[in-house]
Structure 1
Amino acid sequence: MKFCGTIFSLISRFWLPIILIVTTTLIVLAYHSVHFQTQSTPVNQLVTSILGEPQTFNTAFNQAGVNIFGLTYEGLVKENPVTGKVEPALAESWRISDDKLRIVFNLRSGLKWSDGKPLTADDVVFTYKDIYLNEEIPTVVIDTFRIGETRALPKVRKLDEHRIEFILPEPYVPFLGMTVADVLPAHVFQASVKAKDKEGKPMFLTKWGTDTPVDQLITNGPYILERYDIGQRLVFRRNPYYWRKDAQGNSQPYIERIVWQIVASTDTSLLQFRSGGLDVEALEPQHFSLLKRQEKQGNYKIYAQPSFRPEFLVFNLNKATRDGKPLVDPVKSRWFNTVEFRQAVAYAIDRQTMLNNTFQGLGKVENSPILAQSPYYLSPTEGLKVYDYNPQKAKELLLKAGFKYNDKNQLLDTLGNRVRFSLITGAGSKTTDAIGSQIKQDLSKIGIAVDFVTMVNNALVDKLLNSQDWETSFGSFLSSLEPNDLAGVWTPQNGGPLFNLSPRTGHKPIQGREVADWEAEIGKLYSQAAQEFDQAKRKAIYAKTQRLAQEYLPCIYLINRLEMLAVRNSIQGIKYSAKYTPIAHKFWNIHEIKVTQ
Structure 2
Amino acid sequence: MTSAKSLVLLWHRCLGIFLAVSFAIALPGCSISQFQTKAADVPQIVESILSDINTFNYALNQSATNIFGLTFQGLIDTHGVTGEIIPALAESWQISDDKLKIVFTLREGLKWSDGEPLTTDDVVFTYNDIYLNPEIPTDSRDILRVGKSRALPTVRKIDQRRVEFSVPEPFAPFLRSTGLPILPAHVLKESVKTKDSEGNPTFLTMWGVDTDPEDIIVNGPYKLKLYRTSQRVVYDRNPYYWKKDEQGNQQPYIERVIWEIVESTDSSFLQFRSGGLDALGVSAQFYSLLKQEEKKGNFTIHIGGPTLSSSFISFNLNTGSRDGQPLVDPIKSRWFNTLEFRQAVAYAIDRQSMLNNLYRGLGAPQYSNLPVQSPYYLSPEKGLPVYDYNPEKAKKLLLKAGFNYNDEGELLDSQDNRVRFTLMTNAGNKLREAMGAQIKQDLSKIGIQVDFTPIAFN
Alignment TM-score, normalising by the size of structure 2: 0.86
Where 1:314 maps in the other structure, the secondary structure is coil
Structure 1 contact 72–220 (Cα < 8 Å) conserved: yes
Q: Which residue in 1 is equivalent to 2:66?
A: 67
Letter in 2 for 1:454: P
Bigger proportion of residues as helix: 1
Where 1:311 maps in the other structure, the secondary structure is coil
Q: Which residue in 1 is equivalent to 2:248?
A: 249
Where 1:333 maps in the other structure, the secondary structure is helix
Where 1:171 maps in the other structure, the secondary structure is coil
Where 2:82 maps in the other structure, the secondary structure is coil
CA deviation after TM superposition for structure 1 residue 413, in Å:
3.3
Q: Which residue in 2 is equivalent to 1:446?
A: 446
Where 2:344 maps in the other structure, the secondary structure is helix
Letter in 2 for 1:74: Q
CA deviation after TM superposition for structure 1 residue 281, in Å:
0.5
**1:432 correspondence with 2:400:** no
Q: Which residue in 2 is equivalent to 1:189?
A: 188
Where 2:312 maps in the other structure, the secondary structure is strand
Residues 136-175 of structure 1: matches in 2 within 5 Å?
136-175=135-174
Where 1:160 maps in the other structure, the secondary structure is coil
**1:121 correspondence with 2:151:** no
CA deviation after TM superposition for structure 1 residue 455, in Å:
0.8
Alpha-carbon distance in structure 2 between the residues aligned to 1:190 and 1:62: 18
Letter in 2 for 1:135: P
Alpha-carbon distance in structure 2 between the residues aligned to 1:418 and 1:152: 40
Letter in 1 for 2:82: T
Using the aligned pairs only, state the percent identity.
Answer: 61
Q: Which residue in 1 is equivalent to 2:209?
A: 210
Alpha-carbon distance in structure 1 between the residues aligned to 2:436 and 2:351: 12
CA deviation after TM superposition for structure 1 residue 190, in Å:
1.4
CA deviation after TM superposition for structure 1 residue 150, in Å:
4.2
Where 1:250 maps in the other structure, the secondary structure is coil
Q: Give unmatched runs, 5+ long, in structure 1.
A: 1-28, 459-597
Structure 1 contact 60–139 (Cα < 8 Å) conserved: yes
Q: Which residue in 1 is equivalent to 2:82?
A: 83
Q: Which residue in 2 is equivalent to 1:22?
A: none
Letter in 2 for 1:328: V
Structure 1 contact 146–153 (Cα < 8 Å) conserved: yes
Structure 2 contact 59–131 (Cα < 8 Å) conserved: yes
CA deviation after TM superposition for structure 1 residue 36, in Å:
4.5
Alpha-carbon distance in structure 2 between the residues aligned to 1:342 and 1:163: 45
Deviations 1:393-417 (A, max 9, x none): 3334444444443343333334433
Structure 1 contact 319–326 (Cα < 8 Å) conserved: yes
CA deviation after TM superposition for structure 1 residue 42, in Å:
1.9
Alpha-carbon distance in structure 2 between the residues aligned to 1:244 and 1:68: 19
**1:416 correspondence with 2:416:** yes
Q: Which residue in 1 is equivalent to 2:108?
A: 109
Letter in 1 for 2:72: Y
Deviations 1:421-453 (A, max 9, x none): 222222111111111111212222233222111
Letter in 1 for 2:35: V
- Cα gap change, 1:217/1:341 in structure 2, threshold over 3 Å: closer, same or farther? closer
Letter in 2 for 1:125: V
Q: Which residue in 1 is equivalent to 2:390?
A: 390
**1:260 correspondence with 2:255:** no
CA deviation after TM superposition for structure 1 residue 375, in Å:
4.2
Moved more, 444-453 or 228-237: 444-453
Deviations 1:295-351 (A, max 9, x none): 222222222211322222233333443333333333333333444433333333222
Q: Which residue in 2 is equivalent to 1:199?
A: 198
Residues 133-532 of structure 1: matches in 2 within 5 Å?
133-304=132-303, 305-458=305-458
Alpha-carbon distance in structure 2 between the residues aligned to 1:394 and 1:99: 45
Structure 1 contact 45–259 (Cα < 8 Å) conserved: yes
Alignment TM-score, normalising by the size of structure 1: 0.67
- Cα gap change, 1:110/1:359 in structure 2, threshold over 3 Å: closer, same or farther? same
What stretches of structure 1 move > 6 A for 4+ residues in a row?
none
- Cα gap change, 1:382/1:186 in structure 2, threshold over 3 Å: closer, same or farther? closer
Structure 2 contact 82–373 (Cα < 8 Å) conserved: no
- Cα gap change, 1:349/1:181 in structure 2, threshold over 3 Å: closer, same or farther? closer
Q: Which residue in 1 is equivalent to 2:17?
A: none
- Cα gap change, 1:331/1:144 in structure 2, threshold over 3 Å: closer, same or farther? closer
Deviations 1:436-491 (A, max 9, x none): 11121222223322211111122xxxxxxxxxxxxxxxxxxxxxxxxxxxxxxxxx
Alpha-carbon distance in structure 2 between the residues aligned to 1:344 and 1:149: 27
Letter in 2 for 1:390: N
Alpha-carbon distance in structure 1 between the residues aligned to 2:187 and 2:308: 35
Alpha-carbon distance in structure 1 between the residues aligned to 2:396 and 2:169: 48
- Cα gap change, 1:403/1:206 in structure 2, threshold over 3 Å: closer, same or farther? same
- Cα gap change, 1:376/1:253 in structure 2, threshold over 3 Å: closer, same or farther? closer
Q: Which residue in 2 is equivalent to 1:524?
A: none
Where 2:70 maps in the other structure, the secondary structure is helix
Where 1:136 maps in the other structure, the secondary structure is coil
CA deviation after TM superposition for structure 1 residue 68, in Å:
0.9
CA deviation after TM superposition for structure 1 residue 134, in Å:
1.8
Structure 2 contact 31–46 (Cα < 8 Å) conserved: no
Alpha-carbon distance in structure 2 between the residues aligned to 1:340 and 1:88: 42
Alpha-carbon distance in structure 1 between the residues aligned to 2:232 and 2:158: 43
